[in-house]
Amino acid sequence: MIRTPIRLALTLSLAALLAAPAHAWVPKLEDTTARNVIDGAYGRRDPVPTYLITSLKVRDGQFEAGEGAVTAFDGGPACVADWLAAPQDYAKGSRPVALTVSGQADQLFFQAQDARDNFRNLSVKDALGEEFAAKRLPDGQLRIDITVQGLPSEKARAAYLVRLKGADGKLVAPVKSTYVNDWKPMEGGSTAAVKADTTVTTSASGGTTTTQASTTVSSAPLLEGTLVYYFEPLKAGLGASDTVSLLLRTEADTNCAYSIPVNLGKFS
């Protein structure tokens, strides 16, 4: 069959629609997305996916998120192989166990849910107004929560290094980082040595001096909790439906750095 210009245009348009992602991260809320999110919170329609969770837990020697969920950015393939072989060996550093990526739409969902639970209606106009907008992420910001297990101390949270890989290959630092107030000792009683005190005792008797040294090592439970990072992907040349690379180094003194793909086209 010979394709006429009209048929060809229609075919190309249909192909473009079919190839387009069902969702895409929304850097700035607008009427349509806001209405869909609010209607989902009120049960007027199916909820809109407003976040993406990637499980980095290891089961049967593989990441739950599947093959390719984590690759080595630095340090070589052995870094990932060691992680898979001993995911709870925290002597080599803590382990990220989940990523949650979200934007303004997710925060609007919670605002709408709160209004519903308090027997109030939240209109699109009010949701996009200054009062509600001021309590959400600034335009263009993406939030990434990293759940961590096996951290030796709260101070070590600041030792994590997290970057996005920009469209030009440059590494992009977060504009802000913080923590969720969920840090607690890990279940199971895992501990880390945190301090070694040496006491020296000298005594003299009958013209002989004796020196004794004793060392006491104290320990503290390993911690688990959530680190939070805020990025501006658009300024790094990344698109709202791109699969971007999140790069991560834990607090461990090692060359290992990891790359984790994040598909922005899987949530709003």
pLDDT < 70 regions, the chain: 1-22, 189-218
Question: Minimal CA–CA distance to 148: which of 87, 226, 92?
Answer: 226
Q: What pLDDT is recorded for position 200?
A: 53
> What is the model's pTM?
0.82
Q: For residue 230, count CB atoms less than 10 angstroms from its CB and return exposed for 0-12, middle for 13-18, buried for 19 or more.
A: middle
Structure tokens at 76: 């070589």
pLDDT of residue 15: 37
The domain ranges of the chain are 22-186+222-266
pLDDT in tens, 204-214: 555 555 556 55
